[in-house]
Copies of this chain bind each other. A is one copy, B any other.
Amino acid sequence: MARREPLNREKVLDAALELADAEGLEGLSMRRLAKRLGVEAMSLYNHVSNKTDILDGIAERVFSQVERPDPALPWQEQVRTVALNMYRAFSRHPIVPLALVTDQSNPTSARALEPLDGLVGALFQAGFDDLGVRRALGAVNGLVLGSLLQATGGFTEALRTHADEQQVDAYIRHVDPARLPNFSRLLRHTREGVDPEADFEQMLDLLIRGLVASAPLHEV
């Protein structure tokens, strides 16, 4: 039982991502993270500069699981692949979209931005001008984030997660059928599961079809 070998940045980020996956964004505190590493909170500052640095590091790791698309493929396929892979990577680590959207993380490293650079490249290939690329990039980002965050809490929670039958029942009783007739109809009858990723893919295809239709190099 010799003294454990010293900490380093990688070990801190490993533990942070583990903790965040298990306990969520609000469960990731410097003090809890330190405890998990068998150390005092203040020791962490020898290896990361602050909590934002940890969140950026986590985001970078997760982004780097998304590979750059093959520029030889048709641009539509490149867009589709990057978007889907971002969706999948983020859905494995929901802390990332949450931290991005709440501005707690803002990774600027090349490693983190490479998949997005590939996306931008594909959009340039489609013939969009700078403004068009920015718009299309925003649309793809918005779709990915919206699809994921919706699935991470919010007001239609009861319609998505039927894990806890009791909760849904409580929710139904809460709903006034006179004022919310359609909602209560939906709550009452919907019991089957949904597949968020399949829904995302459907939306993505819709978006890409729209991009194709508005791309300058539509018919070359």
Q: Which positions in A face B, CB cutoff 8 Å? A: 25, 59, 98, 100-103, 106-108, 110, 112-114, 116-118, 120-121, 124, 130-131, 133-135, 137-139, 141-147, 149-150, 152-157, 159-160, 171, 174-176, 179-183, 185-186, 189-190, 192, 194, 196, 199, 202-203, 206-207, 209-210
Contacts A138-B160, A206-B210 hold; do A155 and B114 have CB atoms under 8 A apart? no
Contact A194 B113 (CB under 8 A): no
Min Cβ gap A85→B in Å is 15
Contact A179 B117 (CB under 8 A): yes
Q: Which residues of B contact A194 (CB under 8 A)?
A: 131, 134-135, 138
Contact A145 B150 (CB under 8 A): yes
Contact B98 A102 (CB under 8 A): yes
Contact B174 A117 (CB under 8 A): no
Give the complex CA separation of A92 and B210 in angstroms: 28
Besides A103-B153, A107-B155, A138-B196, 15 more A-B contacts (Cβ < 8 Å) are: A100-B154, A101-B149, A110-B176, A114-B180, A120-B183, A120-B186, A124-B182, A130-B189, A133-B186, A134-B194, A137-B156, A143-B146, A144-B146, A203-B210, A206-B210
Contact A153 B101 (CB under 8 A): yes
Contact A117 B147 (CB under 8 A): no
Number of copies: 2
Contacts A138-B194, A139-B203, A143-B146 hold; do A113 and B180 have CB atoms under 8 A apart? yes
Contact A199 B135 (CB under 8 A): yes
Give the complex CA separation of A121 and B181 in angstroms: 8
Say which residue of B25, B108, B143, B150 sits within 8 Å of A141 (CB atoms). Answer: B150
Give the complex CA separation of A157 and B105 in angstroms: 11
Q: Which residues of B contact A100 (CB under 8 A)?
A: 153-155
Contact B101 A182 (CB under 8 A): no
Residue ID in chain B nearest A207 by CB atoms: B206
Contact A134 B159 (CB under 8 A): yes
Contact B116 A155 (CB under 8 A): yes
Contact A106 B156 (CB under 8 A): no
- Sorted nearest first, the 10 A-B pairs with minimum C-beta distance are A146-B146, A103-B153, A142-B146, A120-B182, A121-B182, A206-B210, A110-B179, A101-B149, A117-B180, A100-B154
